[in-house]
Copies of this chain bind each other. A is one copy, B any other.
Amino acid sequence: MPEYYHPNREKLHRIIFGTDTFAGKLFDVILIIFILMSVLVVMLDSILQVHSKFAGIFKLLEWFFTIVFTVEYILRLYVVKRPLKYATSFFGVVDLLSVLPTYLTIIFATSHYFIVIRILRLLRIFRILKLIQYLNQADALLQALKASRAKILIFLFAVFNLVIILGSIMYVVEGEANGFTSIPKSIYWAIVTLTTVGYGDISPKTPVGQFIASLAMIIGYAIVAVPTGIFAVEMSKARRADKMVFFACPSCGYDISDIDANYCQNCGYNLKK
């Protein structure tokens, strides 16, 4: 390790990125609470009646969380050895996005779109959860999902073709008078029907349309078996993943899942040095 790396930075790194110390665990718990609270504030603020009463408090809280997350972001940049690698990683970008909207409101007017970016803070919880025990289970799930990805994509491609053709037929059969005003809208109807959601905002009125819709529903009902079958088989194959993440790359903060790894997958840092 290069000599300029101060022991305090290493200690901080363990607290912020690690979970093996008491301070590290405390840091994670407090962070999760802050993230959830900040998301809750965004959600409550969107309710008109609540907004009209507490708009002031919500603005204050928003600034409080933004400053806390900013300090955290700067600390993360400080403790990793390659700040740029961290800043351009997935969670680095999410961390930045979770503070940016509030600062932008100083320059620009508040935009509706900032709300979505603020809600994305939720994703930060996944990083913390990645480090805890439950992950074993998630790994088994992800493994099965990855293995069945190709088959599920083919299935979705077939469904994609089916809804386009079905939508076009219904557009011609039912016509604009019955709510099927265009092919894209009819495709929307086909998806609503085939997935058995069935809002009822558009529904066939003519006997022929209702007959075709009936066929579509039965097809939709039967083919839900396909992804389930695919996934169940992969799931039964998946051996329980028993490896566990326990350390983060000291250089960029990337989670190292392989205890025997020599180099970080993300930045190439020599872990055995």
Contact = CB atoms under 8 A, between A and B. Distances in A.
Given A46-B183, A155-B141, A220-B195, A116 B168 contact: yes
| 7 closest cross-chain pairs (CB), A and B | A197-B198, A199-B200, A229-B232, A229-B231, A195-B221, A46-B183, A225-B231
A77 interface: no
A96 interface: no
Interface in A197-228: 197-201, 203, 207, 210-211, 213-214, 217-218, 220-222, 224-228
Contact of A183 (B42, B140, B214): B42
A235 interface: yes
Given A172-B116, A231-B226, A181 B48 contact: yes
B217 A172 contact: no
Interface in A117-175: 119-120, 122-123, 125-126, 129, 134, 137-138, 140-141, 144-145, 150-157, 159, 161, 164-165, 168-169, 171-172, 175
A182 B119 CA distance: 13
A197 B195 CA distance: 8
A115 interface: yes
Contact of A115 (B183, B207, B214, B228): B183
A200 B48 CA distance: 23
Contacts of A194: 221
Interface residues of A, number: 84
Interface stretch (A62-70, A81-89, A98-106, A185-193): A185-193
A139 B199 CA distance: 34
29 contacts: A43-B164, A43-B187, A46-B184, A47-B184, A115-B168, A116-B168, A116-B169, A119-B164, A119-B168, A120-B165, A125-B161, A126-B161, A129-B157, A134-B154, A137-B154, A141-B155, A141-B230, A188-B213, A195-B217, A196-B198, A197-B220, A199-B200, A200-B200, A224-B224, A225-B230, A225-B231, A228-B229, A229-B235, A232-B235
A236 interface: yes
B236 A161 contact: no
Given A168-B119, A199-B198, A207-B184, A222 B152 contact: yes
Contacts of A172: 112-113, 115-116
A152 B161 CA distance: 22
Given A199-B199, A228-B232, A229-B234, 19 more contacts: A46-B171, A46-B182, A115-B172, A137-B150, A141-B230, A156-B218, A191-B214, A198-B199, A201-B203, A221-B224, A222-B227, A224-B224, A224-B225, A225-B227, A225-B231, A229-B231, A229-B232, A229-B235, A236-B236
